[in-house]
Copies of this chain bind each other. A is one copy, B any other.
Amino acid sequence: MLWPIVAIVVSALAFGVAAYFYQWVKRLPTADDGKNGLNRIGQLIRQGAFTFLKREYRTLVVFCGVVAVVIFLVYPAPLWQGQGAGENVVMAVSYLFGSALSALAGYIGISVATLANTRSASAARQGLAPAYMAGFRGGAVMGMAVVASSLLGAAVLYLATGDSEAVMAFSFGASSLALFAKAGGGIFTKTADIAADLTGKVELGIPEDDPRNPAVIADNVGDNVGDVAGMGADLFDSNVASTAAALVVAVALGLVEMIFCFGALGLLASIVGVLVARVGEKGDPGRALNSGTYLTCALFAALTLAASLACGYSLRIWGAAVLGMAAGVVIGITSDFFVGDDKKPVKRVAEACQNGPAFTILSGFSYGLLSCLPSMAGIGVAALGAYKLCEPLGGNYPMFGIGMAAVGMLSVVGMIISNDAYGPIVDNARGVAEMCGLGDDVLEITDKLDAAGNTSKAITKGFAIGAAGLTVIALLGAFRETVIQAGGTVSFNLMDPLVFFGALIGAAIPAVFSAMLILGVDKNSQRMVKEIHRQFDTIPGLREGREGVTPQYDKCIDIATVGAIRQLIPAGLMAILVTLAVGFIGGVEAVGGYLMGNIVTGLLLAMLMSNAGGLWDNAKKYIESGHFGGKGSPAHKAAVIGDTVGDPFKDTAGPSINTQITVVSLVSSLSAALFVASSLF
C-alpha cells in the first residue's frame, strides 16, 4: 500500500501549496484609496458568491441526504434482501464524502477567487507580471485544492474499505454535486447576465456594471460561481470518476497501486508546473499558461516512466496513459483553433456579422459542428490506441489501458484548473478596474490578461469534454465488469434491438437535458427582470442614483440561486430517472446501448455548444477591437446577438453535458446488479 500513502502525502503537499498561495494572495495590497470603493465592490461580490453557495449547499444537503438514504436502502443490494446493512452504510457514507469534498473544493475556489480579483486589479498598477501572478496563483489555489482533495478522498477511502465500489459511490457523490454546481452555476450566471443587460443597458440606458442595477452584483458573482466553482466541480468529478473506473478493473489485475502512483505523480508534476509558471514584464501571459501546461505534461511522462521502470509496471500501460494525455493536448489545441481570435473561424464569423445576425448564427453554428470531428477522433484514437497497446497483455488489460488513458489525460488536471480559474479572476479584475476607475494603464494590462484567460478557458473546456469522454468509455468498461460480477451476461451487440433501442433513447437525453437548462435560463431571467422592475418602482431614489441609496442585491442573488436550483433539479433528475427506467425495462443490454448513445451525442452537443459559444464571444471581441466597423456598427450588433445565444450554450448547457454523461454512467454502474436481478426484458 505504498502508493496510496504517497498519494496522501502528495495531496497534503498540494494543500500546503494551496494554503501558501491563499495567504500570498490575501496579503497582497488592494488599491482602495477610500474613494474608489474598490474594497466595497470586492466585498459585495464576495458576499454575493457566499450567499449563493450557502443557498445552494442548503438545498444540496437535502438532495444529497435523500440520495444517501436511497443508496443506503438499495445499494449495493436492497436492504430487504437481508444481506446485512454494512456495505450499504459504506456506500452511503462514501457518497456523502464525495459530495462534501467536492463542495469543499468549490468553497475554497470561490473563497480565493473573490479575493484575487481585486488584488490582481490593484497589482496591475505595478505592471503585467505582478497582476498575472495574483490571478494565476489565485487560480492555482483552486487547482491544487480540487486535485488534492479528489486524490486524497479516493486514497483514504480505498485504504479504509478496500472496496472499489465505495470509490464508485464516492465518485457518484462528487458527480451529483458537480451536476448542480456546474449547471446551477451556469444557469445562475446567465440569468443574472441577461437580466442585467435587458434592464440596465436596454431599458434604462445605464452602463454595464452600474451599481444602481440590482442585478449587477449577481452578474459579477455569476462569473465566479459559473467558471470557478462550476468548472472545478466538473473536473473534480471527472478526476474521481476516471480513478473509480480504472479501480474497478484494476482490482482483479492487482494494479490498484499503479493508479495511485500515476495520480500522485501527476499531482506532483502539476505542483511543479504551478510553482514555476511566471511571466516576464514584456512576456505573453498566454504563452506562460501554455508553457506551464507543457512542462507539467513532460514531467508527468518522465516521472511515470521512471516509476513504471522502478515498480515493474508494463510500459504498455504507461504508453496508454501518455497517449491519453497527448489526446487531451490535441483536443485543447483543436478548441483553440476554433475559438482563438487569431484563427480563421473567428475572423470568418466576424466577417459574416456584416451580413446580419442570421449569418452570425449560421456560420458560428457551422464551425461549431465542424469542431466536433477532430476532438471526437482524438478521443476515439486515444481509446483505440490504449486498448491496442495493452492487448498483448491479455485478459482485462486492454480495458485497464483505456482506464489509464483517462487517468493520464486527467493527470495534469491540477495545472488545467489553475489556468481555467485564472480566467474569471482576471475577468473580474478587469471589471473591478473599470468600475473603480483605476486608469487606462491598468485597463490595458488587465485586457491583456483577460485575453489570455479567454483562450485558456476555451482550451480547458475542450479538455474537460475530452476527459469526460475518455472517462465514460472507461466507465462503460466498469459497467460491464460490474454486470459480470453480478452474474449477468454481457453482449452489448449493436444488432441486439435492446441495445439499439437504448442507444436511440440515450442519444436523445443530452438534447433534452440541454434544452431544459437553456429554457431554465430563459424563464429565470424573466423572473429576475420583474424583481428589478419592482426595486426600481419601490425604492425611492434608486433610479436617479441618489447618494446612499443601494438596491437589494441579495434579492437578485437569491432569485438567481433559487431559480437555478429549481430549474436544474428537473433536468438532472430526468437524466437519472430515464437511465433507471431504461435499465429496469430493457436490462443491461439496453443500458449498454443507452450509455453509448448518450456518450456520442453528449460529446457532440457539448463540443458544438462550447466551441460555437466561445467562437461567438471572440468574434464579438474581434469586432470590438476595431474590425468590420468596430463597436456600435451593424456588424457589432449582430455579433452581440451571437454572443447572447452563445452564452447559455457555452456557460450553461454545453459544459454541463460532461457531468450529465458522467452521472448517467455512474448511476448505471452502481445499479448494474439491480438491472441484472430485475428487468422487464
Contact = CB atoms under 8 A, between A and B. Distances in A.
B641 A372 contact: no
A80 to B, nearest CB: 31
A362 interface: yes
A169 interface: no
A123 to B, nearest CB: 36
Nearest to A355: B198
Interface in A582-635: 586, 592-593, 596-597, 600-601, 603-604, 608
A376 B504 contact: yes
Contacts of A229: none
Contacts of A384: 497-498, 500-501, 586
Interface string A505-543: 101110110111011011000100000000000000000
A275 to B, nearest CB: 37
Contacts of A491: 493
A366 B515 contact: yes
Contact of A512 (B373, B492, B500): B373
A410 interface: no
Contacts of A648: 362
A216 interface: no
A284 to B, nearest CB: 32
Contacts of A473: 500
A468 interface: no
Given A494-B593, A608-B511, A504 B380 contact: yes
A315 B644 CA distance: 55
Contacts of A503: 380, 596, 600
Interface in A116-175: none
Contacts of A597: 600
A597 B373 CA distance: 12
Contacts of A504: 376-377, 379-380, 383, 600, 603
A633 B564 CA distance: 32
A490 interface: yes
A485 to B, nearest CB: 15
A442 interface: no
Contacts of A501: 380-381, 383-384
B376 A494 contact: no
Contacts of A324: none
Interface string A343-380: 00000000010011111011101110110110011011
B508 A376 contact: yes
Contacts of A361: 361, 641, 645
Contacts of A377: 504-505, 508
B519 A363 contact: yes
A540 B608 CA distance: 48
Nearest to A609: B365
A597 B352 CA distance: 32
A492 B494 contact: yes
Contact of A480 (B198, B359, B495, B518): B495
A499 interface: yes
Interface in A431-483: 473, 476-477, 480
Contact of A362 (B198, B509, B518, B608): B518
B508 A358 contact: no
A398 interface: yes
A372 B361 CA distance: 21
A644 B641 CA distance: 14
A402 interface: yes
A600 B507 contact: yes
B366 A518 contact: yes
A616 B396 CA distance: 51
B492 A495 contact: yes
Contacts of A592: 494
A379 B505 CA distance: 10
Contacts of A373: 505, 508-509, 511-512
A387 interface: yes
Contacts of A381: 501
B522 A352 contact: yes
A555 interface: no
Contacts of A600: 503-504, 507, 597, 600-601
Given A365-B515, A372-B511, 19 more contacts: A352-B522, A357-B357, A361-B361, A362-B518, A362-B645, A362-B648, A365-B645, A366-B515, A366-B516, A369-B511, A370-B515, A372-B507, A377-B508, A384-B586, A388-B497, A398-B497, A503-B600, A504-B600, A508-B604
25 contacts: A198-B355, A355-B526, A356-B644, A361-B645, A362-B521, A363-B522, A369-B518, A372-B508, A373-B505, A377-B508, A380-B504, A384-B586, A387-B497, A399-B495, A402-B497, A473-B500, A480-B495, A490-B495, A492-B494, A503-B596, A507-B604, A511-B604, A600-B601, A601-B601, A601-B604
Interface of A: 198, 352, 355-359, 361-363, 365-367, 369-370, 372-373, 376-377, 379-381, 383-384, 386-388, 398-399, 402, 473, 476-477, 480, 490-495, 497-505, 507-509, 511-512, 514-516, 518-519, 521-522, 526, 586, 592-593, 596-597, 600-601, 603-604, 608, 641, 644-645, 648, 681
> Which 3 residue pairs across A and B have the least CB separation, nearest first?
A358-B644, A492-B494, A380-B504
